[in-house]
Structure 1
Amino acid sequence: MEKTKVVIVGASHGGHQSILELLSRYGDNVDITLFEAGDYVSFMSCGMELYLEDQVTNVNDVRNFRPEDFPQPNVAIKNNHEVKAINTDVKTVTVTHDGQTEDYPYDKLILSSGVTPHSLPVPGTELENVFLMRGYDWATKIKAKLEDPEVKHIAVVGAGYIGIEAAEAARKAGKEVTILDVIDRPLGTYLDKELTDILEGHLKDKGVKVITNAQIVEFSGKGAVEAIKTSTGEIKTDLIIQAAGVTANTEWLKGTVNLDGRGWIITNEYLQTNIPDVYAVGDATLAYSIPARKKLPIALATVARREARYVVKHLFEKTPEKPFGGVVGSSALSVFDYHFATSGLNSFTAKRADVVARSSFYQDSLRPKYIPEENGNPEVSVQLFYDPFTHLILGGAILSTYDVTAQGNVIALAIENHLTLENLAEADFFFQPGFDRQWSLLNLAAQNALEEEPFVE
């Protein structure tokens, strides 16, 4: 019996998980070929900051997998192979490698083509020492510059997760650092103002210059970059790291696979594209958001892996018994001494998704008040977002100098399981004064949102 030919495009989280699921569920009954356009399989960009700060074993270990991790004879992993087209009439993909073009047949095709980082549409991006913050090659280049004593000032464009990581790594390397963003506060699309005010002050305390509402007009210099010109002035710099968003890597799919106006792959509720036997997962797709109840771009490894798991499980069903259940969208980050986690929607993402959400902000000590702060009892900030009519929890964030990020997973479970403020206010969590309060901080945050009498101990 001839094996089913499964072709996977892209070697990041979605591609990796697809191979794992295919082997686990179908063994040697499938013939798997994965194509990766780059020469490195497969760098984990979310681990780049750890590499830049010398917290990993080796740069070559910061990856999802190595090709040799799959020695099975029915698995072929081909790097430096760029898929250029899908030939739907004959079910082949056109692939280029070393200047040669070849068509490969498929029975099932899984697209995990990912995203490409933005380079700002301003003059000067071609100058030396203008870098992007994504991928193996850029990681090694940035690392070399952090170790170069001639590089004294680094400017980071973009104050999202990646930009903050770049700024922190550069500051810890002893560089003068300026971070710029077009919006009015760092991390403004991830957290509400109550939390970003804390973090912005902390960034400044750590010596990072923060410039918001920045309108960049040019990167200037002779050969190598020397300055960033904005609408209000000029910032001298030896190196620019661009971390200003991403674009779906889907230009090659235009006219074949349905895309939305911004280039995201459109799938149905079963993660199928408009082309029979062609599926799409990961950062280049629109993912179904449980709290928003619609599809949104949610570029997270956790999303790609859950989607790949679903696709492979139902790969041989024309119409699966049930649709993909969706995702919450959860993430976490450290900003020097602070740690935060966020799940679901916030004010910015709720408004962008046209979802009515109310927010509640709560601050308290991690442990009972009789424990001094210097003995491990820091302040914790909790923000909850909820439907004002049903009290369904739609999102939340938690921040402290103590690592409370695991609480973000509790919020994620609350959202996924359609819990209300009332449910969270009474949820049964453990108490031990060495760790927490008689009422958990999430209990107290929900009680605060319900405007209950404050608990005092």
Structure 2
Amino acid sequence: MKIAVIGSTHAGTAAVTNMAQLYPDADITVYERNDNVSFLSCGIALYVGGVVEDPKGLFYSSPEKIAALGVNVKLQHDVKNIDTEAKTIEAVNLITGETAYDRYDKLVMTTGSWPITPPIEGINLENILLAKNYTQANTIIDKAKNAQNITVVGAGYIGVELVEAFQQAGKNVTLIDGVDRILNKYLDKEFTDIVEEAFKERGVALRLGEKVEKFEGKDRVEAVVTGNGRVETDLVIMCVGFRPNTSLLKDKVEMLDNGAIKVDEYMRTSDPDIFAAGDCCAVKYNPTGGHMYIPLATNAVRMGTLAARNIVEPTTKNVGTQGTSGLHLYDLFMASTGLTETSAAGMKVAIENITVNEHHRPEFMPTSENVMLKVSYLPDSRKIIGAQVISKADVTQAINTLSVCIQTGMTIDELGFVDFFFQPHFNQPWNFLNKAGLAAVTT
């Protein structure tokens, strides 16, 4: 069996590693456009901020490790065309310029995603950078050394983490987003208000609800212009989101409107010999039961592993995702899973919510931090559909627990009486998760 894999970051590395172990007789070739594999892009802000001093730690595999498994690794090869009927691949060697041709019996698409670059006037000026891969991370670090005024466009996870890193490095930082609050895809307003205040207290300028109209400068960017005015800047980092890298299979397999490839529970596309995993495809979203585009490393490694397990015959189903994620900014720990009140409204899903504010452990302990937990549930079935938490204590693992609750169909009433341990170092006799369930029962 001849297997071709296109792309080798999270999903691709997981797929290749597992396939090499599961099918030692298979002829496996991986094509990667970059000169490295398995870069943890979610660690870019830690690298930029100096928390990660040795960038080698941001790679959990290497071309040498993959090749040692018997895989044919073709780095710096850009795949230009896939003929799905003939089952052939055309790729260009980016070093020599030569064109290489290959065939496959099974194809695994793990081409990932790429930062969105809106068609804004002046966006091609020097010092307007993207934040996705290792090369871009190094460019950000290099350019930031001589930049005092830095503007981040986009208030998602990567954007806010970079803002924190730049502010702590002593830079004057402005954060711009077209939405009127930060992290709006992950947390509701009562949570993001807390994070926004943390930024304001540290001198970060928040320009929210403002759309970037153009970038000004002769050769290098000098200012960002929004509908509310001009922001002088030395450096701009664009973090406005990601789009799936799927043009190679356009009109060849089923996709969502944004280009994300649809896969079934075994990671198969609408072409039975093509599998897809990671940021290039849509995932089964358990809170709604439909397909959604949720580019997270956790989803990618799971899907890559599943593609490997199922490529010969369907054996292991994808249980879906809740889109569970977490974030640490300054002294705040936050996490979410499933639907928020905001996202539910956007999807026209009727939900009810319960919010509790509790100390994470008894107040006789040396420290006892407030925890704000919000749990969303369906009004009829009362099944838990989402949750959010924020605290100065790291209680984010509670969101992993609630992710399991959503996946298994637990009700808010059952949550009130789940068996959680008590020990004063960690929690209260009634865990704050229990208290959310109990509060909902009494309403």
What TM-score range do you get, normalising by the shorter chain? over 0.9
Partners of 2:413 and 2:299 in 1: CA distance:
28
Give the SS at the match of 1:29.
Answer: coil
Give the SS at the match of 2:190.
Answer: helix
Residue 439 (structure 1) shift = 0.7
1:251 maps to which of 237, 241, 247: 247
Partners of 1:348 and 1:81 in 2: CA distance:
42
Residue 9 (structure 1) shift = 0.9
2:374 maps to which of 367, 383, 396: 383
Partners of 2:110 and 2:88 in 1: CA distance:
17
Aligned to 1:311: 307
- Cα distance, 1:215–1:239 mapped onto 2, change above 3 Å: same
Partners of 2:388 and 2:219 in 1: CA distance:
44
Aligned to 1:421: 412
Name stretches of at least 5 consecutive residues in structure 1 with no aligned partner. 453-457
Residue 186 (structure 1) shift = 0.6
Residue 321 (structure 1) shift = 6.1
For residues 301-340 of structure 1, give each alpha carbon's deviation from its aligned partner in whole angstroms, at most 9, with x where no partner exists: 11112222222222112xx367432122211111111011
Partners of 2:349 and 2:317 in 1: CA distance:
22
**Residues 21-32 of structure 1 aligned to structure 2 (within 5 Å):** 21-26=18-23, 28-32=24-28
The answer on 1:214 being equivalent to 2:210 is yes
Residue 60 (structure 1) shift = 3.3
- Cα distance, 1:341–1:73 mapped onto 2, change above 3 Å: closer
Give the SS at the match of 1:426.
Answer: coil
- Cα distance, 1:265–1:352 mapped onto 2, change above 3 Å: farther
Partners of 1:443 and 1:393 in 2: CA distance:
13
Contact 1:16–1:64 (Cα < 8 Å) also in 2:
no
The answer on 1:61 being equivalent to 2:57 is yes
Residue 273 (structure 1) shift = 1.4
Residue 445 (structure 1) shift = 1.7
Give the SS at the match of 1:154.
Answer: strand
Contact 1:133–1:166 (Cα < 8 Å) also in 2:
no
For residues 384-427 of structure 1, give each alpha carbon's deviation from its aligned partner in whole angstroms, at most 9, with x where no partner exists: 11111111111111111111111121111111111111121111
Partners of 2:150 and 2:113 in 1: CA distance:
25
AA of the residue aligned to 2:113: V
Aligned to 1:223: 219
Partners of 2:57 and 2:266 in 1: CA distance:
34
The answer on 1:272 being equivalent to 2:268 is yes
Aligned to 2:3: 6
Partners of 1:252 and 1:352 in 2: CA distance:
31
Give the SS at the match of 1:394.
Answer: strand
Give the SS at the match of 1:70.
Answer: helix
Aligned to 1:330: 324
Contact 2:309–2:315 (Cα < 8 Å) also in 1:
no
AA of the residue aligned to 2:331: D
Residue 73 (structure 1) shift = 6.0
- Cα distance, 1:281–1:71 mapped onto 2, change above 3 Å: closer
Aligned to 1:177: 173
The answer on 1:93 being equivalent to 2:89 is yes
AA of the residue aligned to 2:277: V
Aligned to 1:455: none
Contact 1:292–1:350 (Cα < 8 Å) also in 2:
no
- Cα distance, 1:301–1:266 mapped onto 2, change above 3 Å: same
For residues 65-95 of structure 1, give each alpha carbon's deviation from its aligned partner in whole angstroms, at most 9, with x where no partner exists: 1111124363112111111222122211111
Aligned to 1:33: 29
The answer on 1:351 being equivalent to 2:342 is no
AA of the residue aligned to 1:381: M
How many residues align structurally?
Answer: 441
2:43 maps to which of 44, 47, 55: 47
Q: Which moved more, 1:339-348 or 1:387-396?
A: 339-348
Contact 2:36–2:63 (Cα < 8 Å) also in 1:
no
Residue 343 (structure 1) shift = 1.2
Aligned to 2:396: 405
Partners of 1:182 and 1:298 in 2: CA distance:
20
Output the aligned Cα RMSD: 1.6
2:14 maps to which of 17, 28, 32: 17
For residues 147-169 of structure 1, give each alpha carbon's deviation from its aligned partner in whole angstroms, at most 9, with x where no partner exists: 33xx1111110011010011011
Partners of 1:391 and 1:421 in 2: CA distance:
6
Aligned to 1:441: 432
Partners of 1:369 and 1:391 in 2: CA distance:
32
Partners of 2:38 and 2:308 in 1: CA distance:
20
Partners of 2:440 and 2:92 in 1: CA distance:
56
AA of the residue aligned to 2:17: L
AA of the residue aligned to 1:414: C
Contact 2:111–2:245 (Cα < 8 Å) also in 1:
yes
Aligned to 2:357: 363
Residue 216 (structure 1) shift = 1.1
Length-normalised TM-score, structure 1 = 0.93
Aligned to 1:108: 106
Matched residues, percent identical?
35
Contact 2:262–2:283 (Cα < 8 Å) also in 1:
no
Q: Which moved more, 1:353-362 or 1:92-101?
A: 353-362
